[in-house]
Amino acid sequence: MPTPSITVRGLLLDMDGTLVNSDAVVARVWRGWATEQGLDPEEVLRVAHGRQGHLTMATVLPGRPVEQNLADNRALLAKETADLDGIVPVPGAPAFLAAVEPLPHALVTSADRGLSTARMGAARLRMPQIRITSEDVSASKPDPEGFLKGAAELGFAPAECAVFEDSGAGIAAGLAAGMPVVGIGPRAAAHSPTAHVPDLEAVRVEPLQDGRIRLSFHG
């Protein structure tokens, strides 16, 4: 979609699918869980991207006890944190993180602190100094709470921050927060982000003299 540029003051970065390609691990863990529950693994995976695990479970198994979902979620998180096979950076992620290092930015992820540390480390990516993880919010994406907290941590109004996201839940959260959203990768295109690019190689980050950040896109 043609959006020549977006100018903001802060950047809010999702992790899985945006900076880190963890699809192989996510597919392994969630296909196993779906099969155990007698569910269609592909249908569960369509829901799982970008959400906290217990919310995915509540969505695909409505009426299931919350305690059971939370217990299953703890078990799956342990599996995901231990399984780092196949985790790689999204194309352009190392250069993108280098470009934004001196600029106001934060990680906003549905992962917990342990999982985000493990995956960023496995992909050999720098962890942003500010990060909002599942421990910091009361509601998962598509609720905007995480992105609103990220903007507050950076000290900017929501509309002054751009979100980078790959999932439908994450894009919905960013838009609900009143922020422009840069959709990354093939999953993002169907969810009407403000701009869409195939990966981070297609994003140019330009600091402006007044302290703002201009994002431009190609590809």
Q: What are phi and psi of 10, to 5 degrees?
A: -145, 160
Q: Are 127 and 108 in contact (CB under 8 A)?
A: no
How many Å apart are CA 214 and CA 56, to the nearest integer? 35
Is 40 labeled as catalytic in the residue annotation? Answer: no
Q: Choosing from 14, 23, 72, 112, which is the catalytic residue?
A: 14
Is 112 labeled as catalytic in the residue annotation? Answer: no
How many Å apart are CA 147 and CA 153, to the nearest integer? 10
Q: Choosing from 16, 23, 72, 112, which is the catalytic residue?
A: 16
Question: Residue 89 pairs with which residues in a beta bridge?
Answer: 20
The residues that are catalytic are 14, 16
